[in-house]
Amino acid sequence: MMGLQVNPKARALIFDLDGTLSDSLPVHMATWNKLGSSIGFIFEERLVYEMTGMPTIAFAERIIEENGLRLSPGELVRLKQEAFWEAVHLVKPVELVVEIVKAHHGLLPMAVGTGASRRSATLQLNELELTPYFDYIITADDVTRHKPHPDTFLECARLMKVNPSDCQVFEDGILGMEAARSAGMMITDVRPYINYGSWALS
């Protein structure tokens, strides 16, 4: 297998955040599990694979429905986000992807297209010291329709003033890849190249 690389035809690069730039999924899992222990639900790991790329509110609605919880999706989102923000110092960079970002900074326009909230994205990118590398950051707060709809990536292309077909998307989520495909963009699945870490909250 050849290494992770930029397509020679790409005129702009778009990166997902969680699981692509940021090895944050273990922290998300740990915060969901910690929250489940305190509220009374078990976070099913399958949700990560089924729903990665969707905003937290979608996870909250699914968890409430499946567990019959008596709280609003908005309240569950607030609790989850606060727990994650407190643990954001635990996120690590996905080095192979970050290397591509740093190697192409100033050579190609680059954007982040994520299903995370603006605050979660900002905190993670600042923690990873990656904010200065990106021309634009499009979050769940910036679009109405989230992945698997193409709106997040299309907005990145629009702001970078590059045709969607000339954009290369780096993704780890099935829904994100579907979004990139719907946008008519080049897609790179980063998962085969990466050994993700794991750790737990104390």
pLDDT digits (tens, 9 = 90+) for 91-113: 999 999 999 999 999 999 999 99
CATH superfamily of 12-24+92-193: HAD superfamily/HAD-like (3.40.50.1000)
CB within 8 Å of 170: residues ≥ 6 apart:
13, 14, 15, 16, 20, 97, 100, 188, 190
**Region for 184 from its dihedrals, namely left if φ exceeds 0, alpha if ψ lies in -120 to 50, beta otherwise:** left
Give the pLDDT confidence score for residue 1 in this predicted structure.
52
12 Cβ contact partners less than 8 Å away, ≥ 6 residues apart: 108, 109, 110, 111, 156, 157, 160, 162, 166, 167, 168
Q: Which band of pLDDT confidence, cut at 50, 70 and 90, is reported for residue 136?
A: very high
Q: What is the band of 199 on the pLDDT scale with cuts at 50, 70, 90?
A: very low
Q: Tens digits of per-residue pLDDT, 146-186?
A: 999 999 999 999 999 999 999 999 999 999 999 999 999 99
3-state SS, residue 10: coil
19: left (phi over 0), alpha (psi -120 to 50) or beta: left
Cα 24 to the center of its chain, rounded Å: 9
Catalytic residues: 16
Q: Which residues pair with 113 in a beta bridge?
A: 138
Percent of the chain with pLDDT over 90: 84
Q: Lowest-confidence range among 5-19, 46-60, 83-97?
A: 46-60
What pLDDT does residue 17 have? 97
- Residue 90 C-alpha from the chain's centroid: 16
At position 65, the amino acid (one-letter code) is E
Of 25, 15, 27, the C-alpha closest to 130 is: 15
pTM for the model stands at 0.90
pLDDT for 25 beyond 70: yes
State the pLDDT confidence band at 196, using cuts at 50, 70 and 90. low
Please give the pLDDT value at position 63: 94
| Residue extents of the structural domains in the chain | 12-24+92-193, 25-89
25-89 maps to which CATH number? 1.10.150.240
